[in-house]
Amino acid sequence: MADDDFETYFHQRAKRFSSFYWSEPIARGLGRGPMFDRLRLAAQISLSLAPTRVLDVGCGSGPLFAELAPKGIRITGIDPAEAMIKLAGNEAAKYGQLVELQQSAWEDLTAVDEYDAAIALGVFDYVSQPALLLEKMGRAATHIIGSFPAPGLRLDFRKVRYGARGVAVHGYTNVDFLRLGNEVGLDVVDRIPLGNAGYVVHFQRRSPTPLAA
């Protein structure tokens, strides 16, 4: 499935994906616990940066809002799926002016230095051009936080399950994080394992090298 087909795929399955966040015990029983782990880790990293504005790429139904908006952080959530944005609107309404939503794809992201952090959870799994997404996020914010599936049996099962629906799922290694960061001028600040599910990775925009005297 091409990246630009996500709007249709996630529009049709918005309620199903959103339902995984309704009950953490049930989600963990279904093997979806890493969704909560990555959410909390991303929030913890973000809060440690004392941000005022955060970009939520592929915001889905808005589970990140509750982690950041009560702290007074302004959030812009983008998602290409109409049904996801509708669900996110219900969540955003709880926080007044702190959450802004845009129905748009990451490919359309043109922001430059508008945010302190840009977060993408459950997005790099399906992106065929991860360097381009990182580059756009790195222009929008100084700090980038993303979740990345790891190669292994869990990912192999996902590839079979999603592949039956025409969806490609991608895995990443430590070498990939360094390579992708180098390609787009980002340094890996931290890499936190999510068991066998993958990693949450914190990138930071690389400071220009001072010119020699």
Over residues 14-66, the pLDDT tens digits come to: 566 666 666 777 777 777 778 899 999 999 999 999 999 999 999 999 999 99
pLDDT of 9 higher than 70:
no
Alpha-carbon distance 145 to 121, whole Å? 8
**pLDDT, average across residues 70-84:** 94
Alpha-carbon dihedral angle through residues 167, 90, 142, 46, given to the nearest 10 degrees: -100
For 78, counting Cβ atoms within 10 Å of its Cβ (0-12 exposed, 13-18 middle, 19+ buried), the class is buried
Using one digit for the tens of pLDDT, what is the confidence trace for 180-202?
999 999 999 999 999 899 999 99
Q: Where are the beta strands (DSSP E) in the chain?
A: 53-57, 74-79, 99-103, 115-120, 141-149, 186-193, 198-205
pLDDT band at 125 (very low <50, low <70, confident <90, very high): very high
**CATH code reported for the domain at 3-17+24-104+112-205:** 3.40.50.150
pLDDT of 11 higher than 50:
no
Return the domain boundaries, the chain. 3-17+24-104+112-205
Alpha-carbon dihedral angle through residues 19, 23, 25, 27, given to the nearest 10 degrees: 10
Are the CB atoms for 204 and 189 separated by under 8 Å? yes
Residue 176 is inside which H or E element, if any? helix 174-184
Alpha-carbon distance 185 to 131, whole Å? 10
